[in-house]
Amino acid sequence: MAANCRLTIAAHILTWLALAHRRGTELLTSDQSSVMDDSAV
CA-based nearest residue to 22, from 36, 35, 8, 10: 36
- DSSP letter for each residue of 4-18: HHHHHHHHHHHHHHH
Q: Per residue in 1-24, pLDDT tens? A: 688 899 998 998 888 888 888 988
pTM above 0.75, yes or no: no
Give the pLDDT confidence score for residue 2 in this predicted structure.
Answer: 86
Confidence of residue 40 (pLDDT cuts 50, 70, 90): very low
- List all residues 6 or more positions away from 20 whose beta carbon is below 8 Å from its beta carbon: 28, 32, 33, 36
- 30 vs 5, higher pLDDT: 5
